[in-house]
Homo-oligomer: A and B are copies of this chain.
Amino acid sequence: MENSRPSSKRFLDIVSDLRTIIKEEGAVIGDKLPSERVLADRLQVGRSTIREALRSLELLGLIETRRGEGTFLADYKKHQLVEILSTFIMQNPQSLKSVDDTRRIHEKAAIECISNDPERRTLPVWGSFLAKLQGTEPIIREELLQEIVVVSENRLSLKIWFLLKQYSRVPYHETMAEDEKEVATNLLKEMMNGNSHLAVMRYTEWLDIVIGERRGEHEC
């Protein structure tokens, strides 16, 4: 696998080489990769270097290793990386705003997406939520938003949303207040009626209530 200008970070090259190997062998999720010793021999590096690369990929959740058995291509849907990342990253205030903004972008897009799709905006789920909102049963904020993002059926967007949710300053895990429920109800109704513009407005209202900050002036 071409020693093209070793970037003084051999293990990074190995990561790249591994990708090539995986591609060449057409390995699919669950397939077994060559053993560490074989890889070391094939790529002409020490086993420890191979391991450093593999361990990195494992932490990312891209591969899975089972002692005594071997190394396998993992189902990366578990996004283990997110967990790890979360405990480190994004604690500086500067980032927090962009996190919030980006999260809103995705929520808004999901709302518009559903509003504009006759099929998805008439899904029975929304009726259920509407009923729930009428009742006195406590509702967690993220329940509704999550459903919306899920139904929008963009896996990548969903992934990003899940990630951002964890860092958001908006208390997603709390229950809705009474006045909130009203706004949420309006949001749902507009969405079901296919009125994306109004639905988004309701959504903005809702955020204003939850955060209790200045309104609208800077909603990127």
Contact = CB atoms under 8 A, between A and B. Distances in A.
A102 B112 CA distance: 13
Given A102-B157, A157-B101, A220-B152, A60 B85 contact: yes
B55 A160 contact: no
A50 B146 CA distance: 38
Interface in A88-144: 88-90, 94-95, 98-99, 101-102, 105-106, 108-110, 112-113, 116-117
A62 B56 CA distance: 12
A68 to B, nearest CB: 11
A117 B218 contact: yes
Given A62-B88, A98-B155, A109 B55 contact: no
Counted per complex, copies of this chain come to 2
Interface in A29-60: 48, 51-53, 55-60
Given A8-B67, A59-B60, A105-B109, 13 more contacts: A51-B52, A55-B55, A57-B59, A60-B84, A62-B88, A101-B154, A101-B157, A108-B109, A109-B109, A110-B220, A112-B220, A117-B220, A153-B220
Interface of A: 8, 11-12, 15, 19, 48, 51-53, 55-60, 62, 67, 76-77, 81, 84-85, 87-90, 94-95, 98-99, 101-102, 105-106, 108-110, 112-113, 116-117, 152-157, 160, 197, 218-220
